[in-house]
Amino acid sequence: MRNNGTAIAIIGEAARADDFLRRLKMFKLRADVTLTDLRQELAVSAVFGAGAATALALPEKAGSARLSDAGVVFIDPRDAAMGGRLIQPRGQLPEFGQTVPFTDYEYRRIGLRLPDGSRDIRVEKDSLLEHGFERLHGVDFAKGCYMGQEVTARMKYRGLVKKQLIALGFGQAAPAPGTMLRAGDLEIGELRSGSSGRALALVRQDRLAIADSHGDELLADGQKAHILTGD
């Protein structure tokens, strides 16, 4: 989300765009705001890899942004290691770098523990803090009111965050989303999105600690899994 004078462009999950617009209209009330669906006019490109920030003429800092002749350029506000984004007219591609398969992007995203919308977060069920939104600059405890603020603040200050999103590596293709992650007799958590031998999993922190203390292997559908600590 980047402010361009009097306009704000919001990047969202394509499959849920209609629902998102409906909700925005509910809360707009009488504000002098026009909501426009630009999915047919604009497209988003991801730029990542060594030198991505330099290629975009931006500092390697999450959220840094600038206007370009074609649109808006910014570093991923969640984690600068994920590179940057360009919002441009549909059909245009960056004039540098090379086009790579989407699986390359997924491989990096999962390694950085970046949830991808409803693929990883169950809508209106899961907690933002359990999915790392404070680490990813998605929750600010110094700002004003927002929907869900009381529950989110209570979870943080009372130590009620019991689960966390982790990245796992497998020796072959990752098991399907929804597969249980186990260690010995314990159910540790559940796999979410996966690609190229990697997957995110939402796990119980207490059970993960027990498995670690016992030296138990992590298994998903019979496959051994190891926790990834970098990208």
Higher per-residue pLDDT: 165 or 149: 165
Write the pLDDT tens digit of every residue in 96-144: 778 999 999 999 999 999 999 999 999 999 999 999 999 999 998 887 7
Q: What angle do CA 15, 8, 26 make, to 5 degrees?
A: 60
Q: What is the pLDDT of residue 5?
A: 58
Write the pLDDT tens digit of every residue in 23-60: 999 988 888 889 999 999 999 999 999 999 999 999 99
Q: What is the pLDDT of residue 142?
A: 83
Do the Cβ atoms of 193 and 214 come closer than 8 Å? no
Write the pLDDT tens digit of every residue in 191-229: 999 999 999 999 999 999 999 999 999 999 999 999 998
User: What domains are defined for the chain?
Assistant: 2-99 (no CATH), 117-227 (2.40.30.160)
**Per-residue burial over 195-226, b = 16 or more CB atoms within 10 Å of its CB, e = otherwise:** beebbbbbbbeebbeebeeeeeebbbeebebe
Do the Cβ atoms of 202 and 130 come closer than 8 Å? yes
Q: What is the pLDDT of residue 29?
A: 85
